[in-house]
Amino acid sequence: MSVAPTVRIRLRVSGVVQGVFYRQSTALEAQRLGLAGAVRNLPDGSVEVVAEGVRAAVEELVTWCRRGPPAARVDALQAEWESPTGDGGRFTVLR
């Protein structure tokens, strides 16, 4: 039996993404997908998402992040694939 390889991505999401439950909603979606990582607000008003897990689940989270929760308006999403760290654990909301 083979195990699916782990991938890691770093997203920067811009638009109306702070004050609209974007971080909390992203964390719930990532947890539902079984991903590790974190989400945080950045000083410039954007949100950073770092997610690690099975590629299909990471790609599903990226698709979700392009629209976000109902009150959000995503204007841009930058994605950068990184080497997995293997940190594991839960997906968390950082302050």
Q: Please identify every residue annotated as catalytic.
A: 23, 41
Report the C-alpha gap between 71 and 1 in whole angstroms. Answer: 43
Residue 74 is which amino acid?
V
Contact 51, 30 (CB under 8 A): yes
